[in-house]
Amino acid sequence: MSILYLDCAMGASGNMLMAALLELYPDKTDFIATINAALKGMAVVEAEADKKCGISCTHVSVKINGKEESEEMHSHSCSETFKTDINSVLERIDSLEMPEEIIEDVKVIFTSIFEAEKDIHGCEIENIHLHELGSADALADILGVSMLIYAIKPRRIIASKVNVGGGKVKCAHGIMPVPAPATLKLLKDIPIYSDGTNFELCTPTGAALLRYYVNEFADKMPSITPKAVGYGSGSADLPQANVLRAILGEEEGYTEQITELSANVDDMTAEDIGFLQERLFAAGALDVYTINVGMKKCRPGTMICCLCNESNKKELLLLFFKHSSTLGIREQRYSRYALSRSSRELETRHGKIRVKKSEGYGVKREKPEYDDISEVSRKTDLPISELKKHIEKES
């Protein structure tokens, strides 16, 4: 499975993400020509070789009327010469000659920035204006990243925790702490930290792009076989290499930390246990199963085990207590080795059937979705075994 890993040890901005991904693209010159043709003079994107702390990398700049957006000035204000309200920006995006998938991605990402500004300032989204350079600069950055993601087509995107930096940032309304309010709003539920660098390392555009495209933020780099590496540089020269690293590779399955919640009961009926299992699965349990056990006073009993992620452990714990008779629940942590999973739709003579695909650790498997083939079986009165054979021939 193709996987893209983004190392955000020095944060993320739109131009750093575009530059890092551009290094994974086979023809930089062709990409720059394509994006500038699409922008039709609204902005000019340039890419040049750069070095940060001895690391060769690419720097992407976006210029509007010959001016480049400052990393320290990405706030909002009213502009009389350049319409920067959300409706005008969305109309501008719709005018781009790009595949519909790219257009929709750019619109959703740009809207998220306006939504963040709206929430921060407590006004209607129609009254929010990005300043002139910031609006066109963000449009170019978001378009560039969307085009490159569309071209590279990773199955999954994983990122590290995001280093936001520290200190203060200059905005139209004054001096703000890092991360800036809009950036922090866009980073909600995303793991962030600061290594003490006195600089704004994550911008609103960078945060919006990460929020939209990243499937998972991980504590450590996933187990992958690297095929290509790209380094995108920021403008500032800092003690550490001011680069965002993008690694494109093949995922050999993955490992994750999971939690097991378990309890022994001897006074619940089969119906009670079945209801508990239903509630746990509905709340996001990875698995729920039972084991026959012998308990004190020679009573036969049942061990109920629930596997879950740390993120929803508390909710499942409360359900476990609420819908069982246990007085105590045990917890254990495990490392789980898992195959990477994806799905595709297969057009068959009986309609669309989802096919689940799993791979990793030298194994590749495909299996039709049971719910789909069972539904077809009910409609056609064909046995499931025969339907599976049809699907195998049509795959």
Sign of the four-CA dihedral 6, 8, 10, 11: positive
Structure tokens at 181: 């309010």
Q: Which residues of 12-24 are buried (b: 16+ CB within 10 A; e: fewer)?
A: bbbbbbbbbbbbb
Percent residues over pLDDT 90 in the chain: 61
CB 291 within 8 A of CB 302: yes
User: How high is the pLDDT of residue 121?
Assistant: 63
pLDDT tens, 348-363?
888 888 988 888 777 8
Q: pTM for the whole thing?
A: 0.66
pLDDT tens, 273-301?
999 999 999 999 999 999 999 999 899 99
Q: Over the chain, what is the mean pLDDT?
A: 88
Domain boundary assignment for the chain? 2-251, 255-338, 340-394
Q: Which DSSP letter does residue 130 get? A: B
CATH architecture of 255-338: 2-Layer Sandwich (3.30)
pLDDT tens, 40-94?
988 899 999 999 999 999 999 998 877 775 544 444 433 333 446 788 888 889 9
Look at the block and give the residue holding tokens 């590749």: 364
Which one, of 13, 5, 6, lies nearest residue 179 by Cα?
13
Under DSSP, is residue 76 helix (H, G, I), strand (E, B) or coil?
A: strand
User: How high is the pLDDT of residue 118?
Assistant: 76
Q: How far apart are the first and last CA of the chain?
A: 19
pLDDT tens, 209-266?
999 999 889 888 887 889 999 999 999 999 999 999 999 998 777 777 899 999 999 9
User: How high is the pLDDT of residue 134?
Assistant: 53
User: How high is the pLDDT of residue 69?
Assistant: 57
Residue 123 pLDDT class (50, 70, 90 cuts): low
Task: Name the helix (H) or strand (E) containing 162.
Answer: strand 162-163
User: How high is the pLDDT of residue 76?
Assistant: 42
Q: What burial class does residue 357 get, using C-beta atoms within 10 Å of its C-beta: 0-12 exposed, 13-18 middle, 19+ buried?
A: middle
E strand residue ranges, 213-368: 216-218, 224-233, 243-251, 254-265, 287-295, 299-308, 330-338, 340-348, 351-360, 363-368
pLDDT tens, 295-337?
998 999 999 999 999 888 999 999 999 999 999 999 999 988 8
- Taking the C-alpha atoms of residue 13 and residue 204, their distance in angstroms, rounded to an integer, is 8
User: How high is the pLDDT of residue 73?
Assistant: 40
Sign of the four-CA dihedral 173, 179, 183, 188: negative
Which one, of 347, 364, 368, 346, lies nearest residue 356 by Cα?
368
